[in-house]
Structure 1
Amino acid sequence: MRRAVFPGSFDPVTLGHVDIIERALPLFDEIILAIGINADKKYAYPLEERVKFLKDTFQGEAKIKVDTYEGLTVDFCKEADASFILRGLRNSIDMEYEKTIGQANFKMSGIETVFLISSPGKSYISSTVVKDIKKNGGNFSHMVPEAVNK
């Protein structure tokens, strides 16, 4: 089985995430959307809400599972029997950052990282931008799935 883990904080899930996940579905038998838990990080949305956003967004899609984890992504991948890590790239800065992490992950575990480039019109969307717009009272509804807008 070709199983991939798409790790992230999903704080919140955005249409950029949805774009990558939907385009990756034909490539894998299963994709685990894995919410990493970092006790040192302050989140805009509680963990339970982020899990619900993902489950609601992808309800009815049998190839998608949602889980949480602490620690190294590669350790979670091994526990989940996943051979791939899925990552999205918006720009060259993402590429450099994700390449370094992907190479380190491969060296530690032999787990391959698969990169998908964001679709045109989605590369400006990030959870950080959404959180900033939210914090300042702006409208971010065009950047997130309906589950987040509710």
Structure 2
Amino acid sequence: MTTRIAVFPGSFDPLTNGHLDIIERASAMFDQVIVAVATNTGKKPLFTLDEKLTMIQGVVTKLPNVTVQAISGLTVDFMHQVHAQFIIRGLRNAQDFEFERDIANMNHTLATDVESVFLLARPENAQISSSILKEIAHFDGDVAPFVPSEILAQLQTKMAEKNE
């Protein structure tokens, strides 16, 4: 039997409860899930790549079939390196669907052996995005309901440093 390996790529700056929910659900569906942490070239990250890797690894330790790796370059190239067949993507709304559909079609054009799997965000996570959380945290708003507890203290510390 072939091992079903899925990759969940993203910048995760920071990891949210929405991301974690997708990771947990994917871990129940696939033999192995790789959280592929990238640097979004279109954004200025709050956390370094190493900080994100460490934080996410701390959050997913309870999931034995989930690993965390840095990624650079095309996701489909990384998937071939790790012998993954599936890309996991979360969808919060219609805009996410349109964006992710286009990426899925391009990924399929680049690598016909790669299949995209979309998981709908749970209602309680549908409004969460890392960008919105950073904005709330910048103005000292309460982001505790939206991030794993392991991430909260590091986010608050990073925002305090940034606001000094």
Q: TM-score range by the shorter chain?
A: over 0.9
Q: Which residue of 2 aligns with 1:35?
A: 37
> In the alignment, is the contact (CA less than 8 A) between 2:7 and 2:36 conserved in 1?
yes
| Relative contact order higher in (CA < 8 Å, ≥ 6 apart) | 1
Question: TM-score, normalising length from structure 1?
Answer: 0.95
Aligned pairs, how many? 150
Give 1:60 deviation, angstroms: 3.0
> In the alignment, is the contact (CA less than 8 A) between 2:39 and 2:45 conserved in 1?
no
Question: TM-score, normalising length from structure 2?
Answer: 0.87
Q: Which residue of 2 aligns with 1:141?
A: 144
* Unpaired runs of at least 5, structure 1: none
> In the alignment, is the contact (CA less than 8 A) between 1:38 and 1:70 conserved in 2?
no
CA RMSD of aligned residues (A): 1.2
Distance 1:40 1:16, change over 3 A: closer
Secondary structure at 2:22 match in 1: helix
* Unpaired runs of at least 5, structure 2: 154-164
Mapped to 2, the partners of 1:64 and 1:9 lie a distance apart of 17
Deviation >3 Å, runs of 4+: 38-41
Give 1:67 deviation, angstroms: 0.3
Cα deviation, 1:64-114, whole Å, max 9, x if unaligned, reads 000001111111111111000000000000000000000100111021100
Q: Which residue of 2 aligns with 1:119?
A: 122
Larger Rg: 2
Cα deviation, 1:36-72, whole Å, max 9, x if unaligned, reads 1345631011212111111111113210000001111
> In the alignment, is the contact (CA less than 8 A) between 1:4 and 1:28 conserved in 2?
yes
Higher helix share goes to which structure? 2
